[in-house]
Amino acid sequence: MTLPTHIKALTVLLLLLPGMGLWFGYIGGLSLSLGLAMGFLGSVLLISALAAQRRQRQRASDSLNRLHQEFGLSAPAERADQRA
């Protein structure tokens, strides 16, 4: 089983961020532990932003489905099946 490309890219990015924090911390004259902490903070912020985006998409999808049910409209997936 192969992973989707966006999962591979995210994994590589999450592995690179702490190293980049170390490198830029060293270049900027910071201690290595502070640079590493900045890299991990970047990883945490990236993960939380992606999770928030996913929750927002799920809420939008849920509201759309609720509107479709409330007004008796067919759901988008059902309409696609009817067209095919």
* Segments making up each domain of the chain, as ranges: 5-83
The predicted-structure confidence for 8-27, as pLDDT tens digits, reads as follows 777 777 778 777 777 777 77
Residue 67 has pLDDT above 80, yes or no: yes
pTM, full prediction: 0.56
**What SS3 state is found at 8?**
helix
CA distance 80 to 30: 56
Stretch 20-39: mean pLDDT: 76
Please check the confidence at residue 81 and state whether its pLDDT lies above 60.
no
Task: Choose between 60 and 27: higher pLDDT.
Answer: 60
* Residue in the block written with tokens 């690179």: 16
Residue 29 DSSP label: T
